[in-house]
Structure 1
């Protein structure tokens, strides 16, 4: 039996993945959702690496948005899922690849010590525009301040070069340009495209759960890890 590690993006928390985690756990799969916000991409990657190393089963790693940069630097995964996420090559960062859209950048507000936060109304329009209002409101309430520089971090390795991967393009995304997503998706083994905004784990969690269950049940996964 495999495990699943869910890796959130900038400004987000593990609680944003609560519904997905609960549904996947209901089928008997171990699910881990590490807390990022460790101050740098290197530190965030180390936190996820520690979570993967602690598992007794091979893991599917799903990274959302900036979380793609994190899972790119992690070794030992059985499969990588990039959900509207960044797929950096050697020497590249999320910011260098194109980073946030102008709509999301307009939502960013400066804070103490170089930190930033998101204006709630503008964050809703960029991140959760297609989510039911109560779910979007809860997701915005969960957002937290972000330390500076993480999006400019460069992964020390590129795990997608030697690990099977699936890229999910969110075609109605207002936070990361879908055209950029399609270009990054060309680096992955498999590509899917959903007609969603940036955060389907909030608005349409069953889509995310269905993909994870599909991968867990796939012949490739069973044959590679038996």
Structure 2
């Protein structure tokens, strides 16, 4: 299996992927989880690009939520996986595609410095409502403040037009409307739909690990003409 790069979304940290990363590493897969929160989409993309460039072969690159905008601008991936994520086309941003659901907007609070954060009491229901309580509580505790503007960033390129891609629709999602997810998923040749909430890497990491282990990369012939 190719190396895997896991790209988190807004308010999240690399540690949110700990359960998934442990499963993949136990199976012998190299896993890299870059830290975002660099202040802009372009800076976040550069951080992931550096992680991809440091690997010996084209990796599987998974983006969750806002992380989809990030991986859309990355070069050199062997396969892109959009997990309840944004798939922007030329000139599009996550915010322009529809952005946060009403429930998610109601869970976001503004800080005096212009940043925003998730209200701890509302984050569980919106992000981790289908996760076991101890895992959901840990995930909420890891959430961090978010600088403004990242969701309005527009990727400089659209890698999903040139690289094999898979979209995973999370049908019970309360953060990004599944209707919007299905619309964005039409841009990917391979689409899966899971009956999960927004963050299956917290509650069901084995589901994602199994998917990644079955996917081809650009080195493998497939319906994309590679």
Q: TM-score range, shorter-chain basis?
A: over 0.9
1:83 match: 83
How far 1:222 sits from its partner (Å)?
Answer: 4.0
1:128 match: 128
How far 1:57 sits from its partner (Å)?
Answer: 2.0
Distance 1:118 1:124 in 2: 10
Distance 1:223 1:88 in 2: 26
2:45 match: 45
Distance 2:218 2:125 in 1: 38
2:207 match: 207
Assess if the C-alpha contact under 8 Å between 2:78 and 2:217 holds in 1: no
Question: Structure 1 residues 181 and 219 mapped into 2: Cα distance closer, same or farther (>3 Å)?
Answer: closer
Deviations 1:161-218 (A, max 9, x none): 0000000000000000000000000000100000000000001111111101111xx4
Listed as ranges, the gaps of 5+ residues in structure 2 are: none
Question: Structure 1 residues 168 and 219 mapped into 2: Cα distance closer, same or farther (>3 Å)?
Answer: closer
Moved segments of 4+, more than 2 Å: 218-224
Deviations 1:83-124 (A, max 9, x none): 000000000000000001000000111113210001011111
2:33 match: 33
How far 1:46 sits from its partner (Å)?
Answer: 0.2
2:183 match: 183
Secondary structure (helix, strand or coil) at the match of 1:124 reads helix
Distance 2:28 2:147 in 1: 35
2:173 match: 173
Assess if the C-alpha contact under 8 Å between 2:41 and 2:150 holds in 1: yes
Answer yes or no: is 1:74 the counterpart of 2:63: no
Distance 1:220 1:55 in 2: 14
Secondary structure (helix, strand or coil) at the match of 1:113 reads coil
Answer yes or no: is 1:156 the counterpart of 2:156: yes
TM-score, with structure 2 as normaliser: 0.96
Answer yes or no: is 1:110 the counterpart of 2:110: yes
Q: Over aligned residue pairs, what C-alpha RMSD do you find?
A: 1.3
How far 1:27 sits from its partner (Å)?
Answer: 1.4
Deviations 1:11-50 (A, max 9, x none): 0000000010011011111100000000000000000000
Higher helix share: 1
Count of equivalent residues? 222
Distance 2:19 2:130 in 1: 17
